[in-house]
Structure 1
Amino acid sequence: MAVLLTTSPSFARAGDIADRAEAAGHTILRVIEDGPEMQAALARAQYLVAGLPRIDGPVMDAAPNLKAVLKHGVGVDSIDIPAATARGIVVTSCPGANALSVAELAIGAVFALSRNLLWNHDSVASGRFERQRGREVTGATLGLLGLGQIGGRVARMALGVGMTVVGYDPDEAASAEALAMGVELADPDEVIARADTLSLHVTGVEANRDLIGAAEIARMKPGAFLVNYARGIVVDEDALAAALVSGQLAGAAVDAFRTEPPDPASGLMQAPNVLYSPHTGADTQGAVIRTGEMVLDDIAEIETGAVPARALNGKELNR
């Protein structure tokens, strides 16, 4: 019987997926916080369905029966893949499963920021009933850094409502697909400078640390918006907070933070006109079900002795 340890709350909460897992003979252990319960669960686990907590060598060493770490999502920056490979542990992710959900949230943020929904909501809720003039989205320029599964969908939605979309991605295939749908390709500096709203859809690798810092924000249009539904590491939060306080940027939408949950006293949490969400871009019913199905399909394949095609260390393990 395969025992699933899940650090992803949404996997354990997804009724259809949990039912399917149990019908396949799996036992689901849900433990989020480190401690004695986690250690006991790791000792039993054959499969670890990973959410946001760090999965490194010591965690794997505490799980002597572990066959695979399966990311319940796409970003695997929290998983030490070389450590897993060295221990013969498969690492998988679920590319594309939650792309639509994140893209919809990002395009929603473009509308929310452009129409001052935060300010106007507070105006009514506080009893002031004052208006703050917004901007039309149609005709505005959306800059995209990252044109992959998520960024490509954001581009298609933005083009559909009449926005000009300019973007960059180092991947030639993603760039070619974006160009074919009508995205203008440019280098990152031009994307940053032209954007009325700059939306980030890059991976959380170390090379992208502070991709948007003080210098990049200074090159943005005065009064532009920034949307970060990628990873907290890619934006210098102090620089973003300073730009919001000074008025260099008119607003921001942030779903990913350097520290989660963020410190309520931090500069970013005190900055004006920020739309916050608790790393929930992928948290829709459809995305959770699609992701869970991919996880269970990969487990079924591993149980046959195969390495799934989605394995991120498949080549190394198959040598």
Structure 2
Amino acid sequence: MTVIVTTSPGFGKHGSVPGIIAEKGWTLIRCTDPDLHDGGVSRHIREADYLVVGLTPVTTDTLVGASRLKAVLKHGVGTDNIDIPACNARGLPVCNTPAANADAVAELALGLMFSLARFIPQGHGSVISGGWNRRVGSQLGNKVLGIVGLGNIGKRLAVMARGLGMRVVATDPFADMDFAREHAITVVDLPALLGQSDYVSLHVFGGPDTAALINAVTLAQMKPGARLINLARGEVVDLDAVAAALESGQLGGVALDAFVSEPPDVSHPVFSHPNAVFTPHSGADTQEAAENVGLMVLQDIATLEQGHLPDRCLNATALHAGDS
């Protein structure tokens, strides 16, 4: 019997995914207990054939006793919470699901841009509280969108923004220049992007290379009154610096979907600012994206069950090196 342990609240719940798991006779154990530091993984890791990862970190300690484990699979894209060297040491393939939720995240980024431009959450709050506070917003057409990270999500967002008549600039050390030329995207360095963008949307991986990428220095480089959107990782943004920039007016608004601690400590001053909008790490939370991601995970498990490495295996080279 194949046992799948998951720390993802959404894996195995959407579209055709539950039916496929049942049809194959696989057992799914969900470890998302908020009162346990690892959601309960340590209680079930010994019986797991596959670990499907949400936001709970996978460390060396997580893998202790995982005698049956055959692979670690991310229910999503970012693998910064998976200790891949630790998986290499145990000969465990690590897979993710690139592009499966790109449309969902890009659409939310666009929705948050509209929310910032037209004060949609504030208008809603005014009406339901008995008020009628009409704030004059701005249109997105002819504005400059700066995309930090021109990967699958950044590309989707760029095309959507171009469709609205926005001018798009991007920064990415590995930018697809053919795509950029095709869609009239100007690729620049980060300071140049910050200095000309009316909206800056972050779509980078977490980790030490991007920790506090947006800080007091980079916020000062932004066009005065520009708006910031973060659907990447919480640690990419220095919240103290963002709160100060909002208070001074250097930053015209912020929309955050990811936080260092989730749920976050809402006593931080950024959460009481009238030009700040928040969502609960829901960038990928659409029925379509959840099904797509789940199907890709199941496809990779099926491939592994047949004794093969999936094409989406991120550490195939290291695993092959260990076999030699």
- TM-score, with structure 2 as normaliser: 0.95
Which of 85, 101, 105 aligns to 1:98? It is 101
SS in 1 for 2:263: coil
SS in 2 for 1:278: coil
Q: Give percent identity, aligned residues only.
A: 45
Q: Could you say which residue in structure 2 is the equivalent of 1:83?
A: 86
Question: In the TM superposition, what whole-angstrom CA distance separates every residue of 1:292-319 from its partner, at most 9, and x where no partner exists?
Answer: 1110110111111111110111111123
Gaps of 5+ in 1: none
Gaps of 5+ in 2: none
Instruction: Specify which structure has the higher proportion of helix.
Output: 1
Measured in 2, the distance between the counterparts of 1:78 and 1:120 equals 37
Q: Does the alignment pair 1:170 with 2:183?
A: no
Contact (CA 8 Å) 2:101, 2:292: kept in 1 or not? Answer: yes
RMSD: 1.4
Q: Could you say which residue in structure 2 is the equivalent of 1:107?
A: 110
Over 3 Å counting, the alpha-carbon distance change for 1:304 and 1:8 in structure 2 is same
Measured in 2, the distance between the counterparts of 1:53 and 1:40 equals 14
Q: Could you say which residue in structure 2 is the equivalent of 1:129?
A: 132
| 1:280-299 paired onto structure 2 within 5 Å | 280-299=282-301
SS in 2 for 1:207: coil
SS in 1 for 2:168: strand
Question: In the TM superposition, what whole-angstrom CA distance separates every residue of 1:130-153 from its partner, at most 9, and x where no partner exists?
Answer: 211001110111111111100011
Measured in 2, the distance between the counterparts of 1:126 and 1:139 equals 34
Measured in 2, the distance between the counterparts of 1:263 and 1:175 equals 40
Measured in 2, the distance between the counterparts of 1:255 and 1:75 equals 15
Residue correspondences, number: 318
Opposite residue 288 of structure 1, the aligned amino acid is: A
- TM-score, with structure 1 as normaliser: 0.96
Instruction: Report how far residue 62 of structure 1 moved.
Output: 3.0
Over 3 Å counting, the alpha-carbon distance change for 1:289 and 1:36 in structure 2 is closer
Measured in 2, the distance between the counterparts of 1:211 and 1:272 equals 24
Q: Does the alignment pair 1:31 with 2:34?
A: no
Q: Could you say which residue in structure 2 is the equivalent of 1:312?
A: 314
Contact (CA 8 Å) 2:147, 2:169: kept in 1 or not? Answer: yes
Contact (CA 8 Å) 1:179, 1:185: kept in 2 or not? Answer: no
Measured in 1, the distance between the counterparts of 2:120 and 2:16 equals 35
Instruction: Report how far residue 36 of structure 1 moved.
Output: 9.5
Contact (CA 8 Å) 2:7, 2:41: kept in 1 or not? Answer: no
| 1:228-247 paired onto structure 2 within 5 Å | 228-247=230-249
| 1:199-218 paired onto structure 2 within 5 Å | 199-218=201-220
Instruction: Report how far residue 15 of structure 1 moved.
Output: 5.3
